Structure 1
Amino acid sequence: MTTRTSLIGRLVAFSAARPWLVLLLGLALSLAALLYTSRHFAMTTDTAELISTDLEWRQREIAYDAAFPQQEDLIVAVIDGATPEIAESAAASLTAALREKPGLFRSVRRPDGGPFFDRNGLLLLPLEEVQATTEQLIRAQPFLGPLAADPSLRGVLGSLSTVLEGIARGQAGLHDIAPAATALATSFEAVLAGRPAFFSWRALISGTSPGPRETRRFVLVQPVMDYRALQPGTAGSAAIRDTARQLNLDPAHGVTLRLTGPVPLADEEFASLAEDAGLVTGAMVLALVGILWMAVRSIRFVLAILATTILGLIVTAGLGLLATGRFNLISVAFIPLFVGLGIDFSIQFSVRCLAERTVHPDLREALATAGRGVGRSLALAAAAIAAGFFAFLPTSYIGVAELGVIAGLGMGVAFLLSVTLLPAMLMLMRPRAGGRAEFGYAALAPVEHALHRYRRGVLLAAALAAVGSIALLPLVRFDFNPLHLRSPTVESMSTMADLMADPDRTPNTISILLPSPAEADALARRLEALPEVSRTVSLNSFIPARQEEKLALVQDAAMLIGPTLEAVQPAPPPTDAELVRSLSGTAAALRQAATGTGEDEAAARRLADALDRLAAGTPAQRAAASEAVIAPLRTLLGQTRALLSAGPVTRADLPPELVADWTARDGRVRLEAYPQGDPNDNAVLRRFSAAVQAVVPEAVGVPISIQAAGHSIVTAFLQAGVLSAAAVILLLALVLRRAHDVTLAMLPVLLSGLLTLATCAALDLPLNFANIIALPLLFGMGVAFNIYFVVAWRAGEHDLLQSSLTRAVVFSALTTATAFGALWLSNHPGTASMGRLLMISLGWELVVTLIFRPALLAEPPKRPATL
């Protein structure tokens, strides 16, 4: 080790003696890395590429995606209408418009609409609902016939006048038209007040307020993706919104359009991260600069450290891109890892240099002496941390494996620059020598003496804390649901949460591919018998049950209503003058009929007042009133004509688009199972997945994949943890050559790790896909800090708590904690959880540094170190 020490010392001395040469070489290397990065930059945002395809569950998932390529990369356009008619019209017009843009969209389809569902959708409902719907239509026949003959506001008023004539003859009562009067008056009053007016004939006929099942429609859009962009589906989402605006599909026209699905969720994830980027970055920079200044009390040292870190980051990016060929969503975390650990090396060197200047006023001599003093521990720490990062290479978590490669290379870069470029820059900047006698913490002498005196008690307390932490480990949770890491305020996530609340529309379903429809039916019966399964759906689900009974009801309605809807030549639209006469005449008839004081009479007079105001209003107001009533009428008449033409449905009658959604190209059929209970609850999904896979191990779906991904990631971290611990222990054993000293170096790492996990358990802070990425940083810093102290202890240094080493370690931890604790400020739950875990862990690292480690190293080495 003496040779290596002197080599590092000579390297620092060389850099200090030829600072311009070293600086130019550093700048040239950084420029080359920057040019390489700019020319070869590649970034994949495809989350499917983060986990190895060699895993069995991933292979099943890939095979399923290949069988149904139209279900990949989807944008789900969720359309909520103020009325069922508006929702249907909006979905139909949006679908037609998007299909005219094949350059932007690979496919556009409606899973709940189109000619097939218009004609046969009623037959898919339970028999009771079919009977209720046909009876409602038959009761509405006296209105529907005249309205089909004159589909205008004049026709509506004419139908109303006909009923009023019946009331005058005693053949009907005002209660028969009170609901229509109230609904019409509400719409007309809105028009007169300049507000949007939404009238629903379906609600009027059914006599009930429509729910989301009636007022919500879906359009599934498969955009052309650009994976070179951070938001590869942005162009498709923007085109959908632009098209909707051109079609007036907005709240002013009774339509709310929201986009969700895999593509918007991924794209808005980046948008939500960028939303707080300014705040988080600003907090990081301020914390970094402020604490660096507190550590070294020299602006020139701070500038040299920051410049070294920035240039090192550029070089690491170039090397990482050269090694992996691209960055992914995980590997870009090398930036905080490099900054956190790279600055640690610079702080260690700088603080030691400042301490040496109290003995060696000459800057070059102080730099060389600092290199000889800390170079050995810096090299060992860099090698140990790099080994820890490279331990991720054999794991199945590709995203973190590539992060390990880049971060491992970065540790080598950070170390080399801290002993070459940093000394050179300090020589060029010529910082003044400090006037302090000791660049440490002399005030901590009583604390250190107390820790030495009560060493056994401190170590016993640490042992008890470790035992207590181990007892809490079973309570540590891993939240495998990635949706819980997304901002709940962005549109895609809030819409997804809305859909998840509906058990019939949740995306948390499980699919199984089977050789034949008969086998799908048999498996469906087995799955539906499970308490964890609410229902199943397959292609056969779109072939109505009890067709004969349902068709008989439809045919009876068609016999009564059909002739009045079909054998009719609609009258030409009325002129404005004709409409004024109709409005005034109907208003007079309403007042003549409303002679009492009841609610029905009040509704009639309210409508009469609205009609009189429309008659006295402007032509534009009358046109708006007509459109408010007639647009939904046209939709209703079209839907009624379609459903009255329903006939027997066989598999051959199913539309090809629907068949393709449920039948693979090789003939296998898809069976989809829905969970029983809250589909957004982890426990529900876990039981649901286990129950289905117990019957069908080859099943796939979101509940299975997110749990399998979580298991794969946790397994990868456990594997990497074992490999990195083994690599670090082996490296320490080769260098320190004493099991006792290796144990002293690793015990604090183990204790701080246990305390961190125990805190997560006690505060119910789960590990997740985001904050688990912080663990390599925490492990790296823990290993580095312990190496610094053990190497100094072996070299015979004493009173370590008061030394410049403790100062460097404390400020290194504080720099990382405050800089990356700024992530806690993010509104993004995943980012905030990473900042929270970093703060907790580094807090415990400081506690271990200031209390446990001094007691652990209180006894002097058993024999002189041969380093």
Structure 2
Amino acid sequence: MKVTFQSRRAPRSFMLWLMRVTTARPWLTVGSAIALALLGIGYTAASLEFVTSRNAMAPADAPYMQAYERIRQDFGSLDYLVVVVEPPTLERGKQFVQALTTRLQADTQHVREVIHTLDTSSLEGKKLLYLSPEELRTLQRRLEDAQDLIYDLSDTPGLVPLMSLLNQEISRALVSHLTRGLLESSSSTEPGTASAGTEPAQALDITFLADLFSQMEVALRESGHDAFASPWGSFFLDDDEVFNNEGYLTSKDDRFLFVLVDDRTTSSGFVKHAAALEALRSHIAEVQRDFPDVNAGVTGGDALSNDEMVAVQHDTMLATVIALAGVAVLFIVAFGQIGRPLLVVAMLMIALGWTLGFATLTVGHLNIFSVSFLPMLVGLGIDVGIHLLARYGEERTRQGDFDAALHTAYLVF
């Protein structure tokens, strides 16, 4: 019993001492409390860091985290803002990407580097390694079929010999095509011949000829045109199998184009990519005015984290304001007063300022989870004010004396 009495007496003695000190100079107490809260809020605004990476919430000694760190050491940072472009056609998308890249490269305040194409010169002489076995067999077959044309053209190069050789090849292909069609038609009319399994004759491929004429037209129309797209790729491979020598970053089906943007972060704050993202989205909107048929947006780990943090920050502040307003209204209704409940809410706001300053001093950072605890502190921290105010009101009604009522309230509390 003696131990229990001593353990309860010490906190009571401290509370009584605290009451005497704070009530002896009330204005000094209130001013010091407000000044300390403002100091805590200012220190928090200047020094509190926000860890936006989800990796910081995982154990550093986990195997997958160690593997990720090794990858980062070998390949550097892989975090980029990714602009995804969905054009109606691939050429339209390339024009959009080029216009956007020009604007981004000029915005050195927000953009450090823009990657919209890759240099494919290192693949010269190695491109066959990237073809599938079926594509290699197709290429071999077409080379064998065009062997005579290639040899003749190498002996007498030039546009006129090329057109003459192409005319011969087309005539030969037409004769072969018509002959095959007649033979298949006659065989299908013979009695006892099944035509269900007969494959239709393959259509003549004039893609190479169309590409050749297109390049000739461009050369005649634009005498100073330097960009030349060789039509020989479509002679040996289908259009969708030709290597994209321009090096644009595209999806496998060429539906999307990508632009990688390395942005300049403004600070280590809660939304350090906000300014760059806002500028990037503004540039996209400006370019879309000239390309209304192109859809474009920003994604990537940093962009998603930034948008997530902005939403968390906005929702947390809104929830805190709603919680404070709700607590104040509840107090006013429950106590039937306005002044004292508002004083308790003011005391709570001062305590929140102390808490933020203490958290900044001891921990120094918050993450996406801990920052959402601020609205909960409103509900938890108001309990002290509820008990103290209720007890003080009860004792003041019974005793009538301010000092005695406050003494009893502190003692019981």
With the shorter chain as reference, the TM-score category is: 0.5 to 0.7
* Residue in 2 that maps onto 1:335: 374
Give the C-alpha shift of residue 262 in structure 1. 0.9
Among candidates 346, 353, 365, match of residue 392 of structure 2: 353
Pair 223,14 (structure 1): closer, same or farther in 2 beyond 3 Å: closer
Pair 70,36 (structure 1): closer, same or farther in 2 beyond 3 Å: closer
Give the match's secondary structure for 1:85: helix
* Residue in 1 that maps onto 2:331: 292
Pair 4,154 (structure 1): closer, same or farther in 2 beyond 3 Å: closer
Give the C-alpha shift of residue 272 in structure 1. 2.7
Contact kept in structure 1, 2:323 and 2:375, CA below 8 Å = no
Give the C-alpha shift of residue 361 in structure 1. 2.5
Pair 3,282 (structure 1): closer, same or farther in 2 beyond 3 Å: closer
* Residue in 2 that maps onto 1:78: 84
Distance 1:270 1:317 in 2: 19
* Residue in 2 that maps onto 1:141: 208
Contact kept in structure 2, 1:70 and 1:222, CA below 8 Å = no
Equivalences for 1:726-765 in 2 at 5 Å? none
Among candidates 44, 54, 66, match of residue 50 of structure 2: 44
Contact kept in structure 2, 1:10 and 1:368, CA below 8 Å = no
Post-superposition Cα deviations, 1:336-356, rounded to whole Å, max 9, x if no partner, equal 343232211111111222232
* Residue in 1 that maps onto 2:343: 304
Contact kept in structure 1, 2:104 and 2:114, CA below 8 Å = yes
Give the match's secondary structure for 1:214: coil
Identity percentage over the alignment? 25
Give the C-alpha shift of residue 110 in structure 1. 4.7
Contact kept in structure 1, 2:88 and 2:294, CA below 8 Å = yes
Pair 331,274 (structure 1): closer, same or farther in 2 beyond 3 Å: closer
Pair 213,320 (structure 1): closer, same or farther in 2 beyond 3 Å: same
Pair 22,317 (structure 1): closer, same or farther in 2 beyond 3 Å: same
* Residue in 2 that maps onto 1:791: none
Pair 79,31 (structure 1): closer, same or farther in 2 beyond 3 Å: closer
Q: Which has the higher contact order (CA 8 A, sep 6+)?
A: 2
Equivalences for 1:765-776 in 2 at 5 Å? none
Distance 2:321 2:104 in 1: 42
Pair 85,329 (structure 1): closer, same or farther in 2 beyond 3 Å: same
Among candidates 59, 68, 71, match of residue 66 of structure 2: 59
Query: Does residue 1:323 correspond to 2:330, yes or no?
Result: no
Q: In structure 2, what residue type is equivalent to 1:301? A: R
Pair 35,242 (structure 1): closer, same or farther in 2 beyond 3 Å: closer
Query: Does residue 1:363 correspond to 2:402, yes or no?
Result: yes
Equivalences for 1:436-451 in 2 at 5 Å? none
Distance 1:65 1:327 in 2: 24
Pair 283,7 (structure 1): closer, same or farther in 2 beyond 3 Å: closer
Q: In structure 1, what residue type is equivalent to 2:295? A: T
Distance 1:282 1:318 in 2: 19
Q: In structure 2, what residue type is equivalent to 1:233? A: H
Contact kept in structure 1, 2:93 and 2:257, CA below 8 Å = yes
Give the C-alpha shift of residue 82 in structure 1. 0.6
Give the C-alpha shift of residue 278 in structure 1. 7.1
Give the C-alpha shift of residue 281 in structure 1. 4.6
- Where in structure 2 are there 5+ consecutive unaligned residues? 1-7, 143-201, 223-238, 241-250
Contact kept in structure 1, 2:316 and 2:375, CA below 8 Å = no
Among candidates 19, 30, 47, match of residue 37 of structure 2: 30
Q: In structure 1, what residue type is equivalent to 2:270? A: L
Equivalences for 1:372-391 in 2 at 5 Å? 372-374=411-413
Give the match's secondary structure for 1:229: coil
Distance 2:41 2:321 in 1: 24
Q: In structure 2, what residue type is equivalent to 1:347? A: I
Contact kept in structure 2, 1:296 and 1:350, CA below 8 Å = no
Query: Does residue 1:233 correspond to 2:247, yes or no?
Result: no
Give the match's secondary structure for 2:265: coil
Contact kept in structure 2, 1:76 and 1:220, CA below 8 Å = yes
Give the match's secondary structure for 1:284: helix
* Residue in 2 that maps onto 1:556: none
Aligned residues: 318
Give the C-alpha shift of residue 106 in structure 1. 4.4
Q: In structure 2, what residue type is equivalent to 1:292? A: F
Distance 2:87 2:123 in 1: 18
Query: Does residue 1:11 correspond to 2:78, yes or no?
Result: no
Contact kept in structure 2, 1:87 and 1:215, CA below 8 Å = no
* Residue in 1 that maps onto 2:231: none
Give the match's secondary structure for 1:220: strand
Q: In structure 1, what residue type is equivalent to 2:255? A: T
Give the C-alpha shift of residue 293 in structure 1. 2.0
Post-superposition Cα deviations, 1:564-589, rounded to whole Å, max 9, x if no partner, equal xxxxxxxxxxxxxxxxxxxxxxxxxx
Equivalences for 1:385-784 in 2 at 5 Å? none
Give the C-alpha shift of residue 359 in structure 1. 2.0
Contact kept in structure 2, 1:44 and 1:227, CA below 8 Å = no
Distance 1:33 1:342 in 2: 17
Contact kept in structure 2, 1:30 and 1:315, CA below 8 Å = yes
Q: In structure 2, what residue type is equivalent to 1:81? A: P
Give the C-alpha shift of residue 140 in structure 1. 2.3
Equivalences for 1:200-215 in 2 at 5 Å? 213-215=253-255
Contact kept in structure 2, 1:75 and 1:222, CA below 8 Å = yes
Contact kept in structure 2, 1:230 and 1:270, CA below 8 Å = yes
Give the C-alpha shift of residue 235 in structure 1. 3.6
* Residue in 1 that maps onto 2:115: 109
Give the match's secondary structure for 2:412: helix
* Residue in 2 that maps onto 1:264: 303
Pair 346,110 (structure 1): closer, same or farther in 2 beyond 3 Å: same
Contact kept in structure 2, 1:81 and 1:254, CA below 8 Å = yes
Post-superposition Cα deviations, 1:255-279, rounded to whole Å, max 9, x if no partner, equal 2111111111011113333555675
Among candidates 243, 260, 267, match of residue 220 of structure 1: 260
Contact kept in structure 2, 1:15 and 1:22, CA below 8 Å = yes
Contact kept in structure 1, 2:319 and 2:375, CA below 8 Å = no
* Residue in 1 that maps onto 2:96: 90
Distance 1:101 1:314 in 2: 39
* Residue in 2 that maps onto 1:471: none
Pair 289,245 (structure 1): closer, same or farther in 2 beyond 3 Å: closer
Distance 2:372 2:221 in 1: 67
Distance 1:250 1:129 in 2: 41
Greater gyration radius: 2
Give the C-alpha shift of residue 144 in structure 1. 2.6
Give the C-alpha shift of residue 105 in structure 1. 4.1
Distance 1:42 1:137 in 2: 70
Pair 100,152 (structure 1): closer, same or farther in 2 beyond 3 Å: same
Contact kept in structure 1, 2:85 and 2:294, CA below 8 Å = yes
Among candidates 309, 313, 333, match of residue 352 of structure 2: 313
Give the match's secondary structure for 1:232: coil
Distance 1:100 1:359 in 2: 76
Give the match's secondary structure for 1:218: strand
Give the match's secondary structure for 1:222: strand
Give the match's secondary structure for 2:49: coil
Give the C-alpha shift of residue 305 in structure 1. 0.7
Contact kept in structure 2, 1:9 and 1:369, CA below 8 Å = no
Pair 59,154 (structure 1): closer, same or farther in 2 beyond 3 Å: closer
Distance 1:333 1:50 in 2: 15
Give the match's secondary structure for 1:230: coil
Give the C-alpha shift of residue 285 in structure 1. 3.2
Distance 2:334 2:363 in 1: 36
